[in-house]
Structure 1
Amino acid sequence: MPNRDTGRSLLRSLNSGAVLRTVIEHGPISRAGIARHTNLTNVTVGAIASEMLEQDLISETGQTDSTAGRPGRLLELNAGAYVAVGAKLSDRQLTCELTDLRANVLAEATMALEHPTPEDFITALGQLVGELLATTSTGRDRLLGIGVGLPGVIDRETGTARYSPFLRWAEVPVADLAEAALGLPIFIENDVNTLALTERWFGRGHGVQDFLLVTLGQGIGMGIVLSGELHSGASGGVGEFGHMVVSDSTQECECGNIGCLEAIASEGSLLRQSAILTEASGASPAVGMDDLYRFAATDPDHKILLMTAGESIGRGIANVINVLSPELVLVRGLGNFESSPLATGIDQAVQAHTFPGLAGSTELIFEKLDDGPWARGAASLVLSELFMSPVAVANFRDPLRSRSR
């Protein structure tokens, strides 16, 4: 026989999540406005709002315009009530940022880590979190949790790094290990997916139901948001866009396969191909993407190199557009990417290979990929958990809670 108390608790959690998401996306908003958006009763909205006011999750501000009756108070997210930590781990560095509930960065700390083991990472994470709290004079009781963005196939539900070629990790229970060591809730996800979450809540993807985020750098990744929710697939395997096989090239990828998009169009691959071109001319080799863009401005061979790489990426994006038909595709690349031949090649290939019936229905935007958003994106893992079920604030205060993943 179903447990009625459990059922009521689940329903209240779902209703609370709906109310908080409405405040975030439409606030400042009245209680009556929330009821209209959520189809909940005024009584239910009032009770949930009162609880959130007590928790400091929301605050009252201003009044509604009213031609009849008593004007209502407007509700908005109390962004400064709690904080979250976002951590981005690469094969060379750990970057951590402390953010408020709107993912505004309050402080940042970094530490060099050369091919870290899981133990190295957890020790460094604890040290940087302590530094962030001390720097901002923030009490540990205000810290809701830590989100971690990792490269590779990451199972968010179990908190496991399934396979990360850059880190050389396989089947590592990162969240469990870190929670046991630090005594704080830990949430892990593929690093590109964490960026997609930030875009969904606070960036270009805010209010967009279906969009793709493509990142071009050391690796090539894709975050997919469908019907307003991050799509992770089975065991976190969605979004390995860089390992789409697009060529008969014999160049081996980090994953061990050949012909992967990442093997022919990632930063490392492009720099290696450029070195061959510059060696023949005796010029100094490129050390980053901006060097490649500069070379391409005067050297036809480098321009062809970037255009060809862009065309491969663009064909891959067009294939995904033809399958998912998103409203928006946001492509972010290193350096002055927006005006580069790489972006031009992507744009031309997307336009050429998108199914005619879908052409024009997807907006394509190019932006620079900075280091900062990665850790901020990881903090959004914690915020996303809160936004989906704000009654979890009570659970966040119990860092050794049973994992519900």
Structure 2
Amino acid sequence: MTTKTLHPAGANPGRSRSHNRQMVLGHVRRAGQIGRAEIARASGLSTQAVSNIIADLAGDGLLLEGERVSSGRGLPAVQYSLNPAGGYALGVEIRPDVLLVALLDLNGDTVFSRRTPLVDTRPEEVTAQILTLRKAALTHAGGDPARLMGAGIVMPGPFGTASAAQKGLELPEWSDIDANLWFTTALDLPVFVENDANAAAMAERNGGAGEGVSHYAYLYFGAGLGLGIVTNGQLMQGAFGNAGEIGHITVPSGNGAVVLEQAVSRLSLQAHLAENGIAAATSDALAQLYDASDPHLMGWLNQAAEPLTHAITTIENLCDPQTIILGGAMPDQILDHLIVACALSDRSVSNRDERELPRLMRGRSGRMSATQGAAALVLNHSFTPRLTPH
């Protein structure tokens, strides 16, 4: 059987200007600083084409010209790097009770973040708060509003599967709203709408555990449990944006078959603690219980290990990732405990002797991973041209 290899390569006459700009920006981002000839060799573009693109990018304020570096014969080559203040990406996470916003610069560094209570989740009210926070973010960063490259919007999934009553939407007021069209119009920006697990997965590519990893799965602990799947550096979204709804699958457990997120999720843990008279509404409260070796929390961890192990084996065999990353709104101590507690199956394609990465890792993006990931969607679009078959 013949397979097609995907190459994010440039082409001199036939590719779009946008594609080649993304190609050059991506090479500069990965290298930190790089010369025109190196970009040309890596991208397949001619040196003249690269020179023209760099001139455009520098003129747009996206690149900085640095020192000259000698590499053998010829004149020393000018090195180019990203201008951090050349562009900004806005990330917005909408939860039923809170609105989170982050502003990233072109290097992917967070220059502003804010968490604010959300009392009214109607589209008009949410949008008004986002506009206020966008203004505050740009003012704090001292950024030109014209430098805002786009906005990533994160909302709980699944999308477009049934009526609000049937699926118990966390944001029922949005059930009949085309969120992409709504926010594109309201913010007057390019907008990328994603579920929280996908956005968090992209956050890990931006300086997190997924940086430099082409194929990985991200198991996201939000209120429930979601899965972001990254392959060739791109999200796998599915026909309707619902790929990775891992929390809905049925897995074995010590108490028989269970729906995964009813056994392994933050809501599952909090419900278990509430049944035993313990209120733990925040990650800090959960971390304190873990540090105190609370017997009820430890009991839940023991119960969660088996269904989580089955889910991980399923992900490995279906997706063949380089690694699976665990992260989100769960304390690091609990994630580390779950990673150790999983009895990883040897009946998995990931059970290989030669591995560059462990089968399970904890993410590094923290509790605002989905918010930062929303902004990272904008940066990823700017730096990563779509893969094409050759």
Q: Same fold (TM over 0.5)?
A: yes
Equivalent in 369, 375, 383 of residue 387 of structure 1: 383
Q: Which structure is higher in helix share?
A: 1
Structure 1 residue 227 displacement after superposition: 1.4
The residue identity in structure 2 corresponding to 1:167 is: L
| Separation (CA, whole Å) in 2 of partners of 1:387 and 1:11 | 14
Where 1:172 maps in the other structure, the secondary structure is: coil
- Is 77-86 or 176-185 further displaced after alignment? 176-185
- In the alignment, residue 270 of structure 1 is paired with which amino acid? L
**Is the 1:59–1:77 Cα contact (8 Å) retained in structure 2?**
yes
The superposition leaves residues 266-311 of structure 1 with CA deviations (integer Å, 9 ceiling, x where unpaired) of 22222222233x34xxxx5444456556556555554232122133
| Amino acid paired to 2:266 | E
Matched, 1:351 2:344: yes
Q: What's the offset of the Cα at 1:170?
A: 2.2
Query: Are 2:339 and 2:361, in contact at CA under 8 Å, matched by a contact in 1?
Result: no
**1:318 corresponds to:** 313
1:356 and 1:199 map into 2 onto residues whose CA distance is: 23
Letter in 1 for 2:261: E
| 1:4-403 equivalence runs, <5 A | 10-114=15-119, 116-154=121-159, 165-168=169-172, 169-247=174-252, 259-276=258-275, 278-279=276-277, 284-288=278-282, 291=285, 298=293, 300=295, 302-332=297-327, 334-338=329-333, 340=334, 343-352=336-345, 354-355=347-348, 358-360=351-353, 361=355, 363=358, 364-367=360-363, 370-388=366-384
Q: How far did residue 164 of structure 1 move? A: 7.8
What's the RMSD between the two structures over aligned residues? Answer: 3.0
The residue type equivalent to 1:147 in the other structure is G
The percent identity for this pair of structures is 28
- Is the 1:212–1:326 Cα contact (8 Å) retained in structure 2? yes
CA drift of 1:178 comes to 2.2
Q: Matched residues in 2 for 1:246 and 1:36: separation?
A: 49
Q: For 1:374 and 1:316, how far apart are their aligned partners in 2? A: 21
Given that 1:209 and 1:227 are in contact with CA atoms closer than 8 Å, whether structure 2 keeps it comes out as yes
SS of 2:250's equivalent? coil
The CA deviation string for residues 193-221 of structure 1, in whole angstroms up to 9 with x for no partner, is: 12222222432222211011112231211
- Equivalent pair of 1:337/1:368 in contact (CA under 8 Å): no
Following superposition, the deviation at residue 187 of structure 1 comes to 1.9
What are the ranges of 5 or more consecutive residues in structure 2 without an aligned counterpart?
1-11, 161-166
Q: Is the 8 A contact 1:87 1:147 kept in 2?
A: yes
Separation (CA, whole Å) in 1 of partners of 2:347 and 2:336: 16
For 1:118 and 1:272, the matched residues in 2 are separated by 30
Provide the C-alpha distance between the structure 1 equivalents of 2:380 and 2:349, rounded to a whole number of angstroms.
Answer: 36
SS of residue paired to 1:236: coil
CA distance in 2, matches of 1:90, 1:96: 11
Q: CA deviation at 1:226?
A: 0.6
Question: Are 2:199 and 2:369, in contact at CA under 8 Å, matched by a contact in 1?
Answer: no
- Structure 1 equivalent of residue 163 of structure 2: none
Partner Cα distance (1:145, 1:353) in 2: 44
Q: Structure 2 length normalisation: TM-score?
A: 0.83
TM-score of the superposed pair, with normalisation by structure 1: 0.80
C-alpha distance 13-203 of structure 1, shift in aligned 2 (>3 A): same
Deviates more, 1:285-294 or 1:49-58: 285-294
